[in-house]
Amino acid sequence: MMSGLRIVVRGRVQGVGYRAYVARQAAALGITGHVRNLHQRDEVEIVACGDSQVLDLLIDQLRTGPAGAMVTGVSSEIIDTDVPIEDFTIRY
């Protein structure tokens, strides 16, 4: 069953390749959606759609991040996925 999540990751997650890391992990797991920096210097937002078990794996990977990142928090909320998302992109 496909699920959709809005995930916000906090910590040292900007300027360390975090968005590219998320895009690689999502592609490897077959997840669609996007990742972008939020205006706060310490937050990244991910919109992710996929199987709920695979989304759980992504969240586990988001807690670690790439070298140089220091994640201090990950929160998520279920979102409506009526609009199909076909790939995973980095938004600037």
Which of the residues are catalytic?
19, 37
Residues 6+ apart with CB under 8 A from 81: 2, 3, 4, 49
CA 9 to chain CA centroid, nearest Å: 8
